[in-house]
Structure 1
Amino acid sequence: MSDKARPAIVIAATPTSNGDLHVGHMAGPYLSGDVYARYLRATGRPVIYTTCTDDNQSYVVSTAHRRGTTPAELVETSTAKIERTLAAMGTLMVGLPPIDERYERTVLDYVTELHAAGRFRLRTVRLPYAKNAGVYLYDGLVSGTCPVCMSGSSGGACENCGHPNNFDELLDPRYSVDPADPVVYRERQILVLPMEEYRERLSAYYASRTPRWRPHAKQLIGELLARPLPDVPVTFPGTWGIKAPFTETPDQILYPWIEAMPASIYSTWWAANRLGRSGGAVDEHWRAEQGAELVYFHGFDNVYHWGLVDLVMLLAHGDRYTTPEANVCNEFYDLEGEKFSTSRNHLIWSADLLAEVPRDLVRFYLALTAPEFQRTNFSRDQLHSVTTRRLVEPWNALADAIALALVGVDAAEPLPTTEAGRRRAAAMVERFRLCYELPHFTLGRAAETVITQLGRLRLLADAVDVRGNGNAPAAPGDLLLEARTLLSWAAPILVDIGDQLTAEGVDLALGTEGATSVPVFRFPRLPATTATAQSRPLLDSAR
């Protein structure tokens, strides 16, 4: 199978349906996954970009209690908001698949087959328990101190250092719903997936794949492999979630993180149907013989789950499924110097920002400041000043310069290009390609490359001689070729500009930088944003 024909599956971390997506979420996996998927599609690759809501997470229960609603009502309203936000951002996702009977059947079939194959073990574990409420605590229902880095943490995994804290490992546990409720410990039998049994295969996988990972995530995987790998809960004594189908654990639910892989498989199947590319088994696109390139986009706080637990969930099925080529992992995105926080109302909802600022400018600023290798910061004032000074003004100045340079040119006839112009266009392509392709995918450098080329092309436009002087520094055909090359490679980020030009008949296909002639077209202008003082405050203080 040629690289161009190889199908791709791009999975963004499944959002918990306990609220909308704020700007910190969007600057992480969702924009990055979309740009990568758009790039693959532009190269001619068949690509499915998808995710689904994580309805059965315990955070739904704790958030619903805090907001005075029911988990089911919270899921319904949150899913609608998340879907609208993803559409407003212009992602390639064809929607969010329903978490329905087909979803549940996919999950149950996946885990039942593993159970029948003897992949799970029955263990007696010690669990925190809210004495008055009579509730076993896990993940979003419990908070305390991480036993590894000693920072505040929820159950399951530490957001700060990424290490897991299963069962009774979290220090000073408190019931998140009622911190005054005494927490005691009780022993229960549950089914687990013993990750240590997969150490040899995991080590081989990471040796070949983590060179493609970002340094912080790669470091965490090394730390996890340096100690005995934990048992992953498969079932848990709870009430919110899918009822576990196993006789050994009556009245238990499936641990929600166990759903992630079958959920992603289901989402891929559902999206493929919407795109007219499916018709077979639910897991057809994930089968190893399909040869798909599988790439995950998620945050550092999910490296343990998406990078280790979910990998073992695939390996437990033997060689049936493809495994991810890479996990593209982002750090945290701060708001005005502090972490986004729903509980403290310190956030900006993505939908609110997109309602105030042109979408391409939002996408560009989030790309430019994306928290790829370290924490970065969002500022509404900086969004205005940076996009105005570094993108909109030089972009529109280039549009004016190109229009002036082409005065008197016959727009009905394609303009010839020169070898020098084609060489410059090819050099530009190589800079963009290095930004978009694995293992060095980076939105930040792609956005910086757009800025660099704007300045260069502005000087080129000033040097154009439409009279055909053989000694002129630049030919009009070269200017248009290089401008079209810039537009083509900026299109995965600037989606509205790309759609506008495509509708006008401009060919933005990648690989046209070697063309010997180029049709005359109008270089588009970008809309402006406004300063914070000219618009209502976007910091949310009511939700």
Structure 2
Amino acid sequence: MPSRNELGDRRVIVIDTPPTPNGSLHIGHLAGPFIAADVHARYLRATGRGVLYSSGTDESQTYVLASARKLGIAPEELARRSWTGIRDTLETMGMSVDGFAPYDDGYRATVLRFVQELHAAGKFELRTVRLPYSEKTGEFLVEGLVCGDCPICLSESRGGLCETCGHPNNFDELIGARSTVDPTDRLTTREAEILVLPMEDYRDRLTTYYAEKLPYLRPHMAQLVRELLDRPLPDFAITYPIAWGIEAPFPETPGQVINAWVEGIPAVMYTTDHAARQLGEETEASDELWRTDRDHELVYFIGFDNIWFWGLTHLALIMAHEGRYIVPDAMIVNEFYELENEKFSTSRGHVLYAEELLQEVPRDLVRFYLALANPENQRTNFSRAALDKVAGERLVQPWQRLRARLAEAAGTVGVTTLPVSDRARRHAAIMLERFAACYELEGYSLTRAADLICVQLERLARWAEELDLSCQKLDRTALGDLFLEVRALIACASPILIDLAEAAALADGFDGSLGFETYALSEVKPFALPPLGTTTAQAG
């Protein structure tokens, strides 16, 4: 993976895979790609890099249809309500998306243009396949409408992809296929003629791409990519003979729709364009910012269960456009996040929504805990008791100690400026370097960044308590050094502790600077540290 120095000042397109609008976002969703993408985007802005961070929803997913049928409401109504709820949740959690795109005519036009160009270039092929079929309803069941056992790992899986092992299961490969809406419905299989993208045609290009990327991928993704490329790559369905989705415009497949997973790349092209327009930019076409002549850097933040689609099929779709579009420079993948040691399950009511948690826990503490317990390389667990204990002992208490001591110091010296030594400037630079190592893609780690906040905070709190603040013995340079390093820590923590950083920047003497710049100051003014909120349990 090229370093940021090698990449230069290219603008960065940050993609958080669009969530399915079949319900609100819960903490499990937020702990994965969203918090990771948001922290990286905030870091890029703090370093002065140009960034476009966007998201939207993928309404065409059959999961919307399945959920709506279970709830007894129209899928359009569920998607509409969910879109609003997802947008509001992202705002509530402080996710700094530059634009959250609607599912509208512009979205659909972008998808159709993307696939029609490939169809005209002869990239798709007609295949006769066998698909699960409901004799009761007279419809084919695909993706979120069907489940069974994975033919690769034998775990229960939805159609198209196994969340457990990450491998695809195409068409009639599920073992013991059954309906997700009506488990009593006995399924058969029937033939259907659909258009596919022959993935084997892109094997060489995918292999070349990953030969460069594999050393920099997180271990589980690297393992899955090797497994996928060691097997014949299955055809990727472009159309399905179902009624939910965007109508396919191809003469070979009348009455069919575009596979929702095909929409992924044109969808995020559209969200990127929407974000740019929200920032006041004008573009001639919704795919313009993804074109190779714009030379943008592209970063995906995805869950492990999305690797087959975003890491292979979507990449092949980009490659099928023969150099027209950029390919991702990096993919940051997370594992699953559990709730009280069980998998999040909306159907069983085993969920925790952000709005519920934020009624009892300040947003910064939630963001800190989601970063510290982030499922970067293995499944991790959300526990309310652990949040209270860890955030209280490792973040809130040392912050309160530091805040009280600096308030006492400020009362002693007043509003005068304090000198700063070379030692403090070196220490501030060291902190900036260590945090940057966590936020840059080469070693991206929210867990290490959150832990580093705790380590540096405890160090500064102890230092503050050891200072002699009596007027006769006060070391003004040592106090100035402490204030400088506290400023540096707040800047370094600002992509995670967003409310604390915003409040600190408004403090008298802080001057509002929160960038990752070199701290070459020769003097500082004392400033008051804002409070860091406590949970209801901690307050009690």
**TM surpasses 0.5:** yes
Query: Which residue, out of 436, 440, 450, partners 2:443?
Result: 440
Deviations 1:229-281 (A, max 9, x none): 11100001000000000000000000000000000000000010001133332
Deviation for aligned residue 1:331 = 0.7
* Cα distance in 2, alignment partners of residues 412 and 171 from structure 1: 74
**1:403 aligned residue:** 407
The question of whether the paired residues in 1 share the 8 Å contact of 2:505 and 2:514 is answered with yes
Asked if 1:190 is matched to 2:194, the reply is yes
Deviation for aligned residue 1:408 = 2.8
Amino acid at match of 1:355: Q
Deviations 1:412-435 (A, max 9, x none): 43x221111111111111211111
Amino acid at match of 1:216: H
Deviations 1:119-164 (A, max 9, x none): 1111111111111111111111100000000010000100100000
The question of whether the paired residues in 2 share the 8 Å contact of 1:463 and 1:472 is answered with no
* Cα distance in 1, alignment partners of residues 32 and 50 from structure 2: 23
- What pairs up with 1:137-536 in 2 under 5 angstroms? 137-413=141-417, 415-464=418-467, 475-504=478-507, 505-531=511-537
Q: 1:284 to 1:408 in 2, by over 3 A?
A: same
Q: 1:424 to 1:359 in 2, by over 3 A?
A: same
Amino acid at match of 2:437: L
The two structures have a TM-score, normalised by structure 2, of 0.95
| SS of aligned partner of 2:282 | coil
The question of whether the paired residues in 2 share the 8 Å contact of 1:409 and 1:466 is answered with no
| SS of aligned partner of 2:127 | strand
* Cα distance in 2, alignment partners of residues 267 and 250 from structure 1: 29
Amino acid at match of 1:459: R
The question of whether the paired residues in 1 share the 8 Å contact of 2:99 and 2:274 is answered with no
The question of whether the paired residues in 2 share the 8 Å contact of 1:4 and 1:45 is answered with no
In structure 1, stretches of 5+ residues that fail to align are 535-543
Asked if 1:53 is matched to 2:57, the reply is yes
Asked if 1:22 is matched to 2:38, the reply is no
The question of whether the paired residues in 2 share the 8 Å contact of 1:405 and 1:462 is answered with no
* Cα distance in 2, alignment partners of residues 154 and 198 from structure 1: 26
**2:96 aligned residue:** 92
Deviations 1:458-489 (A, max 9, x none): 12223445689999696112111100000001
Deviation for aligned residue 1:80 = 0.8
Q: 1:286 to 1:64 in 2, by over 3 A?
A: same
* Cα distance in 2, alignment partners of residues 520 and 196 from structure 1: 64
**2:41 aligned residue:** 37
**1:537 aligned residue:** none
Q: 1:48 to 1:363 in 2, by over 3 A?
A: same
Stretch of structure 1 that moved more, 41-50 or 398-407: 398-407
* Cα distance in 2, alignment partners of residues 472 and 85 from structure 1: 47
The question of whether the paired residues in 2 share the 8 Å contact of 1:381 and 1:532 is answered with no
Amino acid at match of 2:174: L
* Cα distance in 1, alignment partners of residues 184 and 454 from structure 2: 54
* Cα distance in 1, alignment partners of residues 214 and 401 from structure 2: 43
The question of whether the paired residues in 1 share the 8 Å contact of 2:238 and 2:259 is answered with yes
* Cα distance in 2, alignment partners of residues 103 and 530 from structure 1: 43
The question of whether the paired residues in 1 share the 8 Å contact of 2:146 and 2:159 is answered with yes
* Cα distance in 2, alignment partners of residues 533 and 463 from structure 1: 27
Deviation for aligned residue 1:306 = 1.2
In structure 2, stretches of 5+ residues that fail to align are none
Deviation for aligned residue 1:409 = 2.0
Query: Which residue, out of 83, 92, 97, partners 1:79?
Result: 83
The question of whether the paired residues in 1 share the 8 Å contact of 2:337 and 2:381 is answered with yes
Deviation for aligned residue 1:368 = 0.7
| SS of aligned partner of 2:52 | strand
* Cα distance in 2, alignment partners of residues 172 and 198 from structure 1: 31
Deviations 1:58-87 (A, max 9, x none): 011110011111101100111111011000
The question of whether the paired residues in 2 share the 8 Å contact of 1:468 and 1:475 is answered with no
* Aligned alpha-carbon RMSD (Å): 1.9
Aligned residues, how many? Answer: 533
Runs of 4+ in 1 over 6 A off after TM superposition: 466-471
| SS of aligned partner of 2:102 | coil
Deviation for aligned residue 1:402 = 1.8
The two structures have a TM-score, normalised by structure 1, of 0.95
Amino acid at match of 2:514: L
What percent of counterpart residues are identical?
50
Deviation for aligned residue 1:533 = 11
Amino acid at match of 1:507: S
* Cα distance in 2, alignment partners of residues 301 and 489 from structure 1: 31
Stretch of structure 1 that moved more, 90-99 or 35-44: 90-99
Stretch of structure 1 that moved more, 41-50 or 515-524: 515-524
The question of whether the paired residues in 2 share the 8 Å contact of 1:235 and 1:255 is answered with yes
* Cα distance in 2, alignment partners of residues 211 and 264 from structure 1: 26
